Structure 1
């Protein structure tokens, strides 16, 4: 499926009056201008913003986020989803991408704990609303993201309008250390998740240690969230990032994880499930 790319600027108020740029990746089908598609909010890692041409940082690519996130968003859009990718650090900088280097990493890590949780949540709410207001959206919304974006996708799933979320190696959930004062309430609010959640981690991810992953899994179980939880042997942090991943990119595992994303999004966003009946699965003790 072909896609077109453009952006929307929306007003923000959570951190004072401002503006956030949302990049849109929209599927198209020739001859069907009124086709409707589900929407997916894609949250970037800490290197938010529009992409740059390697070796020519002054030449900005006006309609793309960082290379790996743009390619990820395009893959999703080409499967028949309208993708909205918000800029996370609009309070501190323009929409341009942070470089995959020391200064870029330091800035991203600094801003992620200077931004307030209400501001993060407003970004998610505005992105979901922007999708729902598009005449080509079918009214079903999913969310996904990697690293910081995995956490933001989790928080986006706290919105009852979101039917499915896929969170790749989400950081800071186990330590409730996102945002200003490093005191997020993401695990405390797990019961607010009404859609289906998929959590994906590498077993060798030192950003979210085994005890942290255990805490997330235990909390989701106790909160009766409808979720799947995957820990992949040998995978490290950022294993789906196909650019400057410092030897951690694994294309084979990334393909499997993308199929997981397509399965849950296809079932929850493309299929009209109707209203839930409340019936629960009866498990029989048979082989």
Structure 2
């Protein structure tokens, strides 16, 4: 399937948010996926992942997650400086600003002739957390969270009662949670705590997968990339999106 890519700049209450839109080139209506990057924003690996999903029949929106804190178009490097800046941005942005970011993208989608009204979300690393956060929006029907950081911490600034896990009971769509057992950012005891919290929510529709993989095993750059786990992760994601969004 051929795809096309474009840039849209969306107004949000916290400033202009550059958003990269990758979608099938045909004129038919398609579901959409809000796709959240790592702390580095739309790097090469994130763009390739978004275009991969778009090639399976989805309009994929990649927002600059820290748009308030960086010049438009900022891409951080996979190095110490990029990691330090991204982590600082993560701690500086209030979690509720992601909710208004999500509304801006949903409002944009609702105006597009190519959008069929079915919405999913996905993300890697902090993007896995932000995808989980997007699942709080009532329009989001299916969400794939890959090694979602900081669901088990208070690092991301929150107002009382606004921590993402405090609101898990509000999620009505389906969740796909994927973790790496060798991920030091979400150790086994913390994954177990999160699992127990998920299991305690009546009616929460989720599947939970833990693989022998490191953090960022989906990123097709660097030593942690695991092509076999990438295939499994995409198969699980596309199966859920296909079942729920199409």
TM-score tier (shorter): over 0.9
**Which TM-score applies when normalising by structure 1?**
0.82
Gaps of 5+ in 2: none
| Cα deviation digits, residues 201-240 of structure 1 (max 9, x gap) | 011111001111112111111113100000002x010001
Residue 269 (structure 1) aligns with: 245
Paired with 1:199 and 1:184, the residues of 2 have a C-alpha distance of 21
- Equivalence for 2:152: 174
Give SS of 1:139's match: strand
Q: How many residues align?
A: 244
Residue 25 in structure 1 maps to residue 12 in structure 2: no
Once the two structures are TM-superposed, the CA of residue 183 in structure 1 deviates from its matched residue by 8.7
Which residue of structure 2 lines up, in the alignment, with residue 46 of structure 1? 39
Question: What is the aligned counterpart of 1:230 among 185, 191, 209?
Answer: 209
**1:20-76 CA distances to partner (integer Å, 9 max, x unpaired)?**
1111001023xxx2x11000000000001xxxxxxxxxxxxxxxx210100100000
Greater Rg, structure 1 or structure 2?
A: 1
How many Å apart are 1:121 and its aligned residue? 1.5
CA shift, 1:12, in A, is 1.4
The aligned residue for residue 70 of structure 2 is 93
The answer for the alignment partner of 1:4 in structure 2 is 4
Map of 1:200 onto structure 2: 178
CA distance in 1, matches of 2:20, 2:161: 29
| Distance across 1 between alignment mates of 2:40 and 2:55 | 23
Match of 1:114 among 89, 92, 101: 92
In structure 1, the residue matched to 2:230 is 254
Give yes or no for contact 1:163–1:195 (8 Å, CA) kept in 2. yes
In structure 1, distance between residues paired with 2:107 and 2:239? 24
The answer to whether residue 100 in structure 2 is matched with residue 103 in structure 1 is no
Structure 2 contact 36–128 (Cα < 8 Å) conserved: yes
* One of 72, 75, 80 as aligned partner of 2:49: 72
Write out per-residue CA displacement over residues 117-171 of structure 1, whole angstroms, 9 at most, x where no aligned residue. Answer: 1212111221222223211111000000000000000000011110000000000
Distance (whole Å) between structure 1 residues aligned to residue 100 and residue 81 of structure 2: 27
RMSD, matched Cα: 1.5
- Please give the alpha-carbon distance, in whole angstroms, between the structure 2 residues aligned to 1:147 and 1:129: 25
